[in-house]
């Protein structure tokens, strides 16, 4: 009895790829997920930092001490209220002012920034007084120089034959009115050299 089982070989043809699948490039990888760090204010307050957080532009996560100082004196609610009442162009200056005032209040709980302002004003007044004194001394020196030049010119006018250098030397060696002053002193001693004049009583 013959067996009816026969082996029929099957030809395995290679799979043909469609032209569309071969020409298409692989899909691009998804963009990396950017995890936004909460601002320093929300991180300290332990709350979720919203997308339009008022405090985020002025209290970055790299400067936590900035919000800590302001929060210690003013409080978070007051800071948010101050910023919401101001236009965006003035908020940065307001935050800087609040941080400075809070720092001064922590250093000096009694006077705060007013004490620093008074100290600076005192220094300004002292410097202004020194400046006024220096200006007065400068004006005095300028007047003395002008008077000296005028006297030298008078001396040169009285002695036109002398050279300018000789006139200056004569003026320095014998200043004006020195001769009259010396002669007055001599006359005084000559009039009072007699013994009677020395012992004359001062009253009658």
SS (H, E, C) 103-152: HHHHHCCCCCHHHHHHHHHHHHHHHHHHHHHHHHHHHHHHHHHHHHHHHH
The confidence score (pLDDT) of residue 204 equals: 43
**105 closest CA partner among 64, 69, 81:** 69
The band of 91, judged by pLDDT with boundaries at 50, 70 and 90, is very high
Angle at 19 between CA 18 and CA 25, to 5 degrees: 110
- The tens digit of pLDDT for each residue in 54-65 reads 998 999 989 899
Is residue 102 within 8 A of residue 70, CB to CB? The reply is: yes
Q: Does pLDDT of 79 surpass 50? A: yes
CA 38 to chain centre: 32
86 C-beta neighbours (distance < 10 Å), count: 13
The overall pTM is greater than 0.85: no
CA distance linking residue 160 with residue 96, whole number of Å = 73
Q: Does pLDDT of 83 surpass 50? A: yes
CA distance linking residue 39 with residue 70, whole number of Å = 14
The confidence score (pLDDT) of residue 35 equals: 39
CA distance linking residue 110 with residue 69, whole number of Å = 17
The confidence score (pLDDT) of residue 51 equals: 83
């Amino acid at each position: 009895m013959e067996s009816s089982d026969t082996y029929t070989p099957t030809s395995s043809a290679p799979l043909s790829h469609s032209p569309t699948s071969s020409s298409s490039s692989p899909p691009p990888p998804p963009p990396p997920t950017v995890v936004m760090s909460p601002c320093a204010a929300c991180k300290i307050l332990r709350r979720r930092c919203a997308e339009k957080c008022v405090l985020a532009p002025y209290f970055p996560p790299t400067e936590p001490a900035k919000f800590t100082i302001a929060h210690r004196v003013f409080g978070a609610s007051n800071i948010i209220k101050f910023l919401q009442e101001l236009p965006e162009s003035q908020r940065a200056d307001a935050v800087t002012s609040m941080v400075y005032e809070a720092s001064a209040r922590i250093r000096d709980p009694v006077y705060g920034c007013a004490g620093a302002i008074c100290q600076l004003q005192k220094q300004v007044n002292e410097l202004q007084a020194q400046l006024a004194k220096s200006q007065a001394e400068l004006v005095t020196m300028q007047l003395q120089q002008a008077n000296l030049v005028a006297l030298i010119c008078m001396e040169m006018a009285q002695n036109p034959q002398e050279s300018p250098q000789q006139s200056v030397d004569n003026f320095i060696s014998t200043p004006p009115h020195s001769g009259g002053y010396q002669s007055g002193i001599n006359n005084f001693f000559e009039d009072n050299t007699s013994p009677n004049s020395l012992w004359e009583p001062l009253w009658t």
